[in-house]
Structure 1
Amino acid sequence: MNCVAILLVSCLLFSLLSANLAEGLEWCPSKDVFKGPCTVRGSPSYTCFLDLLGSKSASAMPKNCKCTPLPHNHRQCDCFVVCNN
């Protein structure tokens, strides 16, 4: 029973710490063009999320992604990423 309580408290503290760190981040718009349709990996926003995650790094933490179809089987992804300071 004590292990369960310790685990729950640890999870709670970690979630509070993560939320506080995310509030202090500065977000910048990012725009990239990729090959393929907007739905190649599921929903358009998820496709762009994965694209930017792969082209930048996990520390970019893309959010609020939007996909715009372009001619010649390309797509433009507009997301907000953590700014490089």
Structure 2
Amino acid sequence: MKGVVILLVSCLLFSLLSTNLGQELKWCPSREVFRGSCTDRGSPSYTCFLDFLGSKSASAMPKNCKCTPLAHNRRQCDCFIICTE
């Protein structure tokens, strides 16, 4: 009897866990302007990645970042971040 209860509880917990892990992340485009050039911290994509980590947080998980140089020693960073609902 204990074995059946343990099995049922385990199945229930596993189904709840797999439901939460199975949710796909939603990515939204985000754009910000920062001071400096696109190569201040290495490659342009890495520079924007670090900029977004500093301005948002690590939970934003920026990806596919692109840097566009702007006038007056500024750069525009476009990244995809996790959408906040």
Answer yes or no: same fold by TM over 0.5: yes
Residues 30-52 of structure 1, C-alpha deviation per residue, up to 9 Å, x if partnerless? 00000000000000000000000
State the alpha-carbon separation in 2 of the partners of residues 25 and 44 from structure 1. 25
Tell me which residue corresponds to 1:14: none
Secondary structure at the residue paired with 1:84?
Answer: coil
State the alpha-carbon separation in 2 of the partners of residues 49 and 72 from structure 1. 21
Cα distance change on mapping 1:69 and 1:22 into 2, 3 Å: farther
1:83 shift after superposition? 0.2
1:23 shift after superposition? 6.7
Residues 11-66 of structure 1, C-alpha deviation per residue, up to 9 Å, x if partnerless? xxxxxxxxxx5971000000000000000000000000000010001100000000
Q: Alignment identity in percent?
A: 75
The number of aligned residues is 66
From the CA coordinates, give the structure whose radius of gyration is larger.
Answer: 2
Tell me which residue corresponds to 1:7: none
Tell me which residue corresponds to 2:42: 42
Is 1:29 matched with 2:48? no
List gaps (5 residues or longer) in structure 2. Answer: 1-20
Q: CA RMSD in A?
A: 1.7
Structure 1 runs (4+) deviating above 6 angstroms are none
List gaps (5 residues or longer) in structure 1. Answer: 1-20
Cα distance change on mapping 1:80 and 1:22 into 2, 3 Å: farther
Cα distance change on mapping 1:78 and 1:24 into 2, 3 Å: same
Q: Which amino acid aligns with 1:36?
A: G
Q: Which amino acid aligns with 1:74?
A: R
